[in-house]
């Protein structure tokens, strides 16, 4: 009986052992299948967007409500730069703009007054040009009169010369009684008549020359009047041109005002979104330089996990797959995630390109590790108080 009991116990022990081993094998198969169809990795880290908060204008920091590692809300004041210089610049720009508008108004008034002046100047130019033409015609007519008077004077002078010569020729013949007294008297009379005609011709010539001089003076005066009329017209037209120049300056001054107003607004820097301040190492009184970061602001509106999966598991991972996310620091908390995308390239450890040709290593390690590719997992229900950039996470793709 004792031997039979021992045999029964041995059979029972083998049965239990075989059962345990079978269950273990089944569990192992289940785990292998589950890990194959539901890839899991603890090579994952938490990520979030962040920006470097840098001022867009320079100046002394007069207010710094932000604190390192503190949470801020959208619209909260982070820091403020002394705005006085920018306020003065805005006032000056506005004053220049107002001054320009006043000058434009004054110029328009002048144009309204000068419109008649422009018309009058045009008429005066036309009148003076006509006067120049008329004076030119008068000069030509006067010169013709001078020419006629000179010709008449030359003719009368010739007759006078002939009369004198004739008288001098007859007077000696009177003593010899070759001519009569009447003939001498006639020659004397003819000489006196020729002298009178000559004197009249000379007077007419002088009068014609005086008329020519007056005509030339009138022509010169008409030319001067034309110059003056054109100058007045140019002055009247200059007022119109001045208005165009002033109005063309509007855009530049408006841009200066907008720029000054924008610079003044940029003195107050507020949080563009909810987040956490980090790397704050300055204090009030520091001089802020445009474009130089003062601290970092982490955007806590969207959190995701970058999980590195072996290349053999990538075929089970697709965009839109549900993911279980656990933080290493808080493994008791479960977060829902979704696969946004999977990486398509990593920098290879071998096969680097050198001088345009692939550089293949001549040795091969006995143990070849599979390459891991990053998978971007968006966390749908993050807790901003628990998530930190760079924190270790565990992800399971479902």
| DSSP sequence for 132-176 | HHHHHHHHHHHHHHHHHHHHHHHHHHHHHHHHHHHHHHHHHHHHT
Q: Assess whether 101 and 243 both reside in one domain.
A: yes
Domain that includes residue 164, residue range: 87-254
In a domain, 367, yes or no: yes
Claim to verify: residue 107 and residue 243 sit in the same structural domain? yes
Question: Residue 253: what are its φ and ψ, rounded to 5°?
Answer: -70, -35
Same domain, 109 and 190: yes
Residues 285 and 374 grouped into a single domain: yes
CATH number at residue 353: 2.40.50.100
- Is 360 inside a domain boundary? yes
Contacts of 390 (CB under 8 A, 6+ apart): 45, 46, 47
Residue 181, domain CATH: 1.10.287.620
What is the pLDDT, as a whole number, of residue 194?
A: 74
Q: What percent of the chain has pLDDT over 90?
A: 41
| pTM (predicted TM-score) | 0.58
For the residues of 306-372, what is the DSSP string, one character each? EEEEEGGGGGG--TT-EEEEEETTEEEEEEEEEEEEE------SS-EEETTEEE--S---SS-PPPE
Token digits of residue 19 = 């059962």
Q: Are 261 and 22 in contact (CB under 8 A)?
A: no
- Same-domain status, 271 and 343: yes
Separation in Å, CA 315 to CA 21, 43, 113, 123: 31, 18, 86, 93
Are 213 and 328 in the same domain?
A: no
Q: Is residue 291 domain-resident?
A: yes
What is the pLDDT at residue 158?
A: 80
* Residue 246 sits in the same domain as residue 97: yes
Residue 29 belongs to a domain: no
Please identify which residue in the block is written with the tokens 């619209």: 75
Give me the pLDDT at residue 40, please: 92
Asked whether residue 125 falls in the same domain as residue 72, the answer is no
- The predicted pLDDT at position 152 comes to 79
185, 312: one domain: no
Residue found by looking up tokens 């995308």 in the block:
341
Look at residues 224, 254, 284 and tell me which one is the last residue of a structural domain: 254
* Residue at a domain's end among 232, 254, 276: 254
Instruction: Compute the distance between CA of residue 149 and CA of residue 156 in angstroms, rounded to an integer.
Output: 10
- Residue 310 shares a structural domain with residue 191: no
Chain segment 240-266, per-residue pLDDT in tens: 667 788 888 889 999 999 999 999 999
Domain count, the chain: 2
Which DSSP string corresponds to 77-93? EEEEE--HHHHHHHHHH
What secondary structure letter does DSSP report for 289? Answer: P
Instruction: Confirm whether 380 is domain-assigned.
Output: yes
Most confident of the ranges 7-16, 198-207, 211-220, 339-348: 339-348
Q: Is residue 21 part of a domain?
A: no
Please tell me which residue, 312 or 82, carries the higher pLDDT value: 82
Residue 295, domain member (yes or no) = yes
Question: How many residues appear in the chain?
Answer: 398
- Whether 17 maps to a domain, the answer reads no
Asked if 230 contacts 122 with a C-beta cutoff of 8 angstroms, the reply is no
Tell me what pLDDT residue 113 has. 67
**Residue 65 near residue 77 (C-beta atoms within 8 A):** yes
User: Which residue, of 202, 227, 254, is where some domain finishes?
Assistant: 254
Are residue 120 and residue 240 in the same domain, yes or no?
yes
Candidates 213, 191, 209, 195; CA nearest to 149 is 209
Contact (Cβ atoms closer than 8 angstroms) between residue 165 and residue 245: no
Q: What is the pLDDT of residue 148?
A: 78
Q: What confidence tens digit (pLDDT) does each residue in 91-110 have? A: 999 999 999 899 888 877 77
Over the stretch 129-168, which tens digit does the pLDDT of each residue have? 666 667 566 667 767 777 777 787 777 778 778 778 877 7
Residues 142, 54, single domain; the answer is no
């Amino acid at each position: 009986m004792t031997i039979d009991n021992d045999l029964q116990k041995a059979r029972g022990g083998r049965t239990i052992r075989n059962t345990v081993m079978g269950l273990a094998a089944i569990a192992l198969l289940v785990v292998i299948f589950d890990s194959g169809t539901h890839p899991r990795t603890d090579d994952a880290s938490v990520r979030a967007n962040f920006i470097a908060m840098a001022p867009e204008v320079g100046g002394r920091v007069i207010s710094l409500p932000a604190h390192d590692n503190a949470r801020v809300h959208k619209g909260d004041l982070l820091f403020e730069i002394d705005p006085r210089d920018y306020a003065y610049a805005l006032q000056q720009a506005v004053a220049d703009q107002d001054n320009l508008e006043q000058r434009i108004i004054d110029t328009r008034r002048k144009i309204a007054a000068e419109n008649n002046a422009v018309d009058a100047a045009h008429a005066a130019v036309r009148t003076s040009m006509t006067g120049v033409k008329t004076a030119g015609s008068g000069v030509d007519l006067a010169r013709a009169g001078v020419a006629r008077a000179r010709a008449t004077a030359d003719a009368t002078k010739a007759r006078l010369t002939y009369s004198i010569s004739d008288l001098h020729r007859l007077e000696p013949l009177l003593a010899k009684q070759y001519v009569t007294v009447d003939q001498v008297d006639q020659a004397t009379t003819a000489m006196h008549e020729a002298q009178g005609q000559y004197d009249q011709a000379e007077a007419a010539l002088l009068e014609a020359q005086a008329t020519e001089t007056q005509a030339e003076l009138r022509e010169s005066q008409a030319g001067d009047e034309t110059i003056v009329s054109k100058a007045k017209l140019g002055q009247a037209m200059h007022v119109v041109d001045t208005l165009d120049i002033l109005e063309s300056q509007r855009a530049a001054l408006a841009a200066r005002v907008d720029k000054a107003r924008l610079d003044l607004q940029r003195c107050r820097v507020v949080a563009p979104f909810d987040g956490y301040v980090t790397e704050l190492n300055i204090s009030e009184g520091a001089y802020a330089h445009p474009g130089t970061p003062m601290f970092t602001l982490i955007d806590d509106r969207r959190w995701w996990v970058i999980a590195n999966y072996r290349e053999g598991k990538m075929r089970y991972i697709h965009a839109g797959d549900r993911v279980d996310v656990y933080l290493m620091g808080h493994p008791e908390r479960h977060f829902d995630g979704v696969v946004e995308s999977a990486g398509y390239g990593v920098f290879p450890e071998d096969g680097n390109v050198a001088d345009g040709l692939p550089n293949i290593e001549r040795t091969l390690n006995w143990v070849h590790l599979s390459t891991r590719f990053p998978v971007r997992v968006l966390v749908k229900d993050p807790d901003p108080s628990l998530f930190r950039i760079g924190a270790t996470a565990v992800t399971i793709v479902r």
